[in-house]
Structure formats: C-alpha cells, structure tokens
Structure 1
Amino acid sequence: MVFMAASQSDSLLLFEEIPLRPDFTMEAGLMRDGHAPVVGLDEVGRGPLAGPVVAAAVILDPDKIPDGLNDSKLLTEAARDALYEEIMATAQAVSVSSLCSTSIDQSNILRASLEGMRRAVMSLCLEPRYALADGRDVPPGLPCPCKAVIKGDQRSQSIAAASIVAKVTRDRMMVRTGLQAPAYGFDSHVGYATKKHRDALALHGPLARLHRMTFAPLKKGAEPVEAGTEAELV
C-alpha cells in the first residue's frame, strides 16, 4: 500500500490509503448490500486547450474483470488499447459521452465534466443501483446514489475501466480531428498545451469550435479560424 495525505476537509483522517492497484472491494461491498449493479464513472480532458471532455460509465462483470486495470495515466498506450478492447468485450454495460469545447466555454470545465458523467450514466443499457465517480464531486441528476472517490481510478476497478474507455475514446477522436487540421499536431498531443501545440497556436491561431477560448493562454489571443484554412501552411 501507498499513503497520501488527506485533504483538509478530511479532518478526522491523517492519511488516505491507496492500493498499489485498484481492486473490486468497494463494488463488492455495495453489491453485498443490495446495490448491484455498480457503475464506475470517470472523465478525461479537463486540462487540454482543445477538444472535448469525454466521460465514460462502465459496469464490469464481476466474473470477467480484465487483468491490469489501472488509472489510464499510468498505462502505456498499447496497454490502454488492449484493455479498452477487453473492457468492451466483457463489461455488462459501457457508455461514453462527450461535451465539446463550446459547451465547456459556455459553462466551465467542472460542470461540463460532471454533465458528461451524468449523460453517460443515463445512456447505459443497464440501470445501475449505485455509482462510484472519480474525484471530489458527485454528478448531479443521477438516477442512483453516488459516491465521489478521490483518486478513484487508482482504487476502484470500475472507475479505472471508465478512465481507460474515456482516455482511448478521446485520444482517437483527437487523432481523427488532426487529419482535418494537420498544422496543429493533434495526433501527438491530443490538445494538451505542449510546446508544439503552443507554437502552432502562435503561428496559426486557435480553431473555431475546437479550441477552448476561456482557457489561458487563449483568453486574450487571436480570433479563431476555421479548420482547413491553415492547411496550405503545413
């Protein structure tokens, strides 16, 4: 086990225990109490300067849990892709939702992330009896009780599975987007604020309906351009 200092709000706790790998302990306890099925929720894409935030909801089959589930950020691309395929083949239900950069700009990234989780749950083909959501906040408007789990993708296999599905889905979306705007290099940074991305923004400006104009350093930048108008500069 590894330990992380608790937040100030957890005044009665000195440390929060994080397993070396996520397990099914929380889900199993909820299921014993009659809360089956349990859905794991996570999102990917809060930090990028461009592209959507993508949320996933996954109800794992307790008898067919893929080996190696973990926080998607701790896995290689090859491992994520392999686990994605296994999750999609074995899970009882999977749903994905995305909110575009315009929606993010019109509300804020936290609200968009939570709304993405809510939509993912509402789109499941199997109604959950309980939800475990990564982070500190519970998505509003869910049809079942929900617990927010800090570092949940490192504690719960269901949340870890959702993080993998969300990450692989978003990365593939951004790679496809890059085919329409090759000057920005989305296939390599998928919208995050790398030097390559920031250099492209300085040279070509932000893209309409793709870059998040409320995010620094875009707030005071150039007016957005349409995708494709930079192609002759590549």
Structure 2
Amino acid sequence: MKTLNAFNKLSLATALSTILAASAFAGSGTQEKQHEEHREGRTAEQYWKEFKHDSGEAWQDTKSAFRDGWLEGKLETAIIMNEQLNPFEIDLEVNGSTAILEGEVTSDIVKDHAKYVALSVEGIDEVENKLKVNKDAKINDKKNNERSISRTLKDATITAGVKAELLSSPEIKGLKIDVDTAEGEVTLTGKVDSSAKRALAEYIAKDVRGVKGVVNNLKVKS
C-alpha cells in the first residue's frame, strides 16, 4: 500500500507538474499572442498615421497645382485683355502666390506695367519680372495673336490637371517639371533622373483630359 500511495503521490505530482507546465505554456502563448497583437496594433496605427500624412501631402499638392493653374488662367486673361501687353509674347508661370514673367517687350514702361497687371490679380502677391527690354521685340498683329478667353481658361485647366497628375505620381512628384499649354498642346520642360521618368511624365500628360499632344522637352540629368 505504501508503494501504491507513493506511486499515487508521484503520479499526482507528475500530473500537477504537467498541468502547471501546460498552463504556463498556455499563458506564455497567450502573452506572446497579446504582445504580437500589440505589435501589430502599433504597426497598423503607424501605417495609418503615415498613410494619412502622405494622403494629406498629396491632397495639398493637388490643391496647390489646381490653384496655380487657376491663377495662371486669370493672369493670362488679364494680359490678353490689356492693350499694352496683348501684342507681346509673354510666358508666365504661377508658383504659390508668386507670378513669374518671361519674354521680351519694347520698353521699361511696358515691363513695369506687366508687373502691376500681375499684382492686380487677386491671389498674386509677388512678381519675378524676368521680362527683357528689346526695342526690336516681336510684336504680334491682332489676327495672329487672337486667343479667346475661353481657350485660355481651357489651357489653364489642362495645365492644372497635368501638374496635379504629375504631383500624384511617386516617381515624378519630387522633380521640377514646368508645364505649359497652348491650344491644348502641352509642353514639358525641366530635368529628370532617367529616360524612364521622362517617358512616364509624357505618358501621364497625354492621359489628361483635353490634351491634344505633348512636346517633351525634358532632359535626362547626366
């Protein structure tokens, strides 16, 4: 009987040890699972934080692109409607609240006038006046210079759309690409890192509604 009792005690002790070990293992597994879930939770939280941050940046870039295009349309309309500036070929670009004017005019008076016309457009606070004075600057006659206001606004809308699409592309976003639209034809100028990105920028521009063609003047950095 003593042997049996000893055996029973041994069996009971073994059973208890086994149960405790199993419980400890189960507890360890539960804790590990909880830690894993916690890690996954933190990863998900971090993911969404980064996603919202990136989405916010993309949305801000898109809004900025459309705003710039809209201001360019307003400024180009103001120049077309101005009898002193209308005869000249003035290239313009809006970046934020700054207007950039380039081209040739016949006098300093016309150059200064262009600056004041730009500043009169609501939303433009500064002007980089890069117009050059050349008394022999080309002057367009009215027939060759006629571009309807509606066409101007359409081109501005296309420019804004192309800029927005380029900014939404992760491969293109950080590159400095100038976009200009005339009669539905988009011209891309600037520098890119590779031939693949040059081709991608052209493909993106061609896919924007209203674009009739793309002149790709992008150069690959050496």
Q: TM-score range by the shorter chain?
A: under 0.3
TM-score (norm 1): 0.24
Higher RCO (C-alpha under 8 Å, 6+ residues apart): 1
Max radius of gyration: which structure?
A: 2
